[in-house]
A and B are shown apart, each in its own frame.
Chain A
């Protein structure tokens, strides 16, 4: 089963709506709370990244009996050094963004902690592609 969502860059007032829609879907699917929580945290972080850094993005979600796959494709500045961006505390967020409570530099490491497989590819100046996979049965990890 597939879902698709659009994210508008810079729209902080709606940052998190994709994550909260997905949370409702997972509740209807009777997904384990712990698993659902991890998915939502990872998705929320990734969603905020698009809002904070990119111009626009598309979230695609694919759920089957075993796993949930999230693919986020954005048009934006891209990430020049992905290993550096994965370090805790690394942030390129502007002071204004930090003031809103975002941009603490924990995003990517938080995503990594909360999904089972993470693939990030990026073309600086064009955009970033994030793939996150989480297994749905708590013992499947």
Chain B
């Protein structure tokens, strides 16, 4: 029964707001782990399948999927209120707005300290190199993107050992800054560490980390929420009282880290950088089938253009990338770029570079017991001889195979398929009333009533 525990402990940052959801199935069809079903006219996320990649959020035409975040008021419980910001936060704003203005805005919002997440990338690089020499599994897969780590756990369980057990920069920077403040005399309980997140996966990773027991990060503030607050500040303050940027150690490596090729570029052997969850799935299938040859390192990111394309990013992802690349090349030209490192400071957190165990969580298995799984598999294949096979989604499952699986698992009935239903009614095996009732159970009773507020209907925007 150990499986059950893992599932119930699984934390997700994505939520379906039932009052807004119209059960339109867009999210269901794009989900890379087939984690969504429609019941009673509303999308439901199956917790142990979801990897928090955010594809459903992007696909939803009525914004019914939201991303949880901590209440900003929560920061005021702490004396030292640290906001950990990734470089893409700054990349979202016009190059005419200096980083110092954004720092000032963050202080105005209520934070007392601003620290850039990628300040620790050189430490992470050292840990990568050390890991590489001690482990001979190839290709190594970056642990940077938490949606990808979870995708591998659930869909590619045999590749779990390929994930580099090195903490990503966010964990290292949080720890570094906590130790830094403690060393300056602030007691730990008075320090609140908050992360400005570009995506749902990072929230889930902080609230229920894979490979470590508990995160030291106190809370998470969504980037789109901060973006609005910063914009408002910038509108009201032209250039007066701009705070100097403290702790600005970010070098060109750090600026580019969260963008595509940000990690892969540091590998001296063959390395691939792949972004977009569908592309990543394709490449992972290739890894499983031993098709990549001697590739040493894989940088895999769930979002198109990596973190610049995170679902909570407001700025256009291509412009964000352009600005950060420009900024990085300016930094790279400066003499001190290479020396901008935290490692030579007095705080040593190197021992905390390594991640713990990452468990495979195969979601494809039909049963724990192979003999039972074999029986279920036979039933599923038999069922597929009858289901229409064109994946219309009218049963409330993304495709016929998923419906067949749900049936053998006792979560659905064959009569959920509208075509099978027709057959049953036609052969007098089911009454019309019963068929109508089933449709209502899947799609909700109001679904079949007239509603002019639907997209494209007469009162669409009313």
- Residue numbers of A with Cβ under 8 A of B are 1, 16, 19-20, 23-25, 27-31, 33, 36-37, 44, 63-65, 101, 136-137
Contact = CB atoms under 8 A, between A and B. Distances in A.
Contacts of A29: 365-366, 370, 373-374, 377
A30 B365 contact: yes
The 6 A-B residue pairs whose C-beta atoms are closest, nearest first, are: A30-B365, A29-B373, A27-B364, A65-B371, A33-B158, A28-B364
Interface of B: 157-158, 285, 288-291, 293, 360, 362, 364-371, 373-374, 377-378, 381
Nearest to A32: B370
A16 B157 contact: no
20 contacts: A23-B289, A25-B377, A27-B157, A27-B362, A27-B364, A27-B365, A28-B364, A28-B366, A28-B373, A28-B377, A29-B365, A29-B374, A30-B370, A33-B158, A36-B158, A37-B158, A44-B290, A63-B374, A65-B370, A137-B370
B157 A30 contact: no
Nearest to B373: A29
Given A27-B365, A30-B366, A33-B158, A1 B374 contact: yes
Contacts of B293: 101
Contact of A24 (B291, B364, B368): B364
Contacts of B367: 30
A44 B370 CA distance: 23
Nearest to A20: B289
Nearest to B367: A30
Nearest to B372: A30
Contacts of A20: 285, 288-289
B285 A30 contact: no
A94 to B, nearest CB: 21
B7 to A, nearest CB: 16
Contacts of A1: 374, 377-378, 381
Nearest to A17: B289
B289 A19 contact: yes
Contacts of A64: 374
Contacts of A16: 289, 291
B13 to A, nearest CB: 27
Contacts of B369: 30
A27 B361 CA distance: 11
Given A29-B366, A44-B290, A101-B293, 10 more contacts: A16-B289, A20-B285, A20-B288, A27-B365, A28-B364, A29-B365, A30-B365, A30-B368, A65-B370, A136-B370
